[in-house]
């Protein structure tokens, strides 16, 4: 093997130094600066993306806070509207109940008046019938017709006693 032969060591070391130097120069002048630029661009892009993400998160937080505030306001307004509707319904129900009570009281009073009138008329008719019947009975029993005032007075007295 020629690489292990000592006579070739000097030329091998020479070519090693030349190759290493050329590779070093190529790497340090061309390749490494490009890799550094790519890494720097990537770092800057990541920093910009992180900054943009933080700005969007702040904006999102602000929008969420505004949404929650609007939602709370809408809930309060809904509660107010519901309370007002409940109050209106309660007032309307109370008013209708009062109207119904008044109508019922009026109808009851009218019915009682009609009953009292019918009762008075019935009592008057009963009185007249009782006087006529008493007069006829007395006439059939004694054979003569009693005085009209006597029959009327006696019928009125009996009716007062019976209530």
Question: What residue segments make up the domains of the chain, in order of their start?
Answer: 7-162
For 108-129, what is the mean pLDDT? Answer: 87
Residue 33: pLDDT band (50, 70, 90) is: very high
Give the residue-averaged pLDDT of 38-55. Answer: 96
Q: What is the pLDDT of residue 109?
A: 93
Question: Would you say residue 21 has pLDDT above 70?
Answer: yes
Q: How many whole angstroms separate alpha carbon 132 and alpha carbon 144?
A: 14
For residue 1, the model assigns a pLDDT of 65
Mean pLDDT of 151-161: 76
Is the separation of the CB atoms in 134 and 151 below 8 Å? yes
Selection from 153, 148, 124 nearest residue 136 by Cα: 148
Q: Is the pLDDT of residue 2 over 70?
A: no
Compute the distance between CA of residue 2 and CA of residue 11 in angstroms, rounded to an integer: 11
Helix (H, G, I), strand (E, B) or coil at 123: helix
Segment 121-144 mean pLDDT: 79
CA 38 to chain centre: 61
Res. 147 pLDDT band, cuts 50 70 90: confident
Query: Average pLDDT over the chain, rounded to whole?
Result: 89
53-108 pLDDT, tens per residue?
999 999 999 999 999 999 999 999 999 999 999 999 999 999 999 999 999 999 99
pLDDT in the model for residue 138: 76
Q: What pTM, to 2 d.p., does this model score?
A: 0.43
* Average pLDDT for 133-156: 76
- CA 104 – CA 112 distance, rounded (Å): 12
Does residue 163 surpass a pLDDT of 70? no
Q: How far is CA 88 from CA 3, 74, 81, in A?
A: 109, 21, 10
């Amino acid at each position: 093997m020629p690489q292990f032969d000592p006579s070739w060591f000097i030329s091998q070391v020479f070519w090693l130094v030349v190759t290493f130097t050329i590779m070093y120069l190529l790497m340090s002048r061309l390749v490494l600066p490009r890799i550094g630029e790519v890494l720097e661009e990537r770092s800057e892009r990541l920093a910009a993306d992180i900054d943009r993400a933080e700005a969007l998160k702040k904006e999102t937080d602000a929008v969420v806070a505004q949404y929650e505030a609007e939602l709370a306001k809408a809930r309060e307004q809904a509660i107010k509207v519901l309370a007002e509707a409940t109050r209106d319904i309660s007032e309307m129900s109370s008013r209708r109940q009062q109207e119904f009570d008044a109508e019922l009281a009026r109808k009851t009073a009218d019915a009682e008046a009609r009953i009292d009138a019918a009762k008075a008329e019935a009592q008057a008719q009963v009185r007249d019938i009782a006087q006529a019947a008493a007069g006829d009975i007395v006439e059939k029993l004694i054979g003569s017709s009693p005085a009209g005032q006597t029959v009327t007075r006696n019928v009125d007295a009996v009716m007062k006693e019976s209530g």
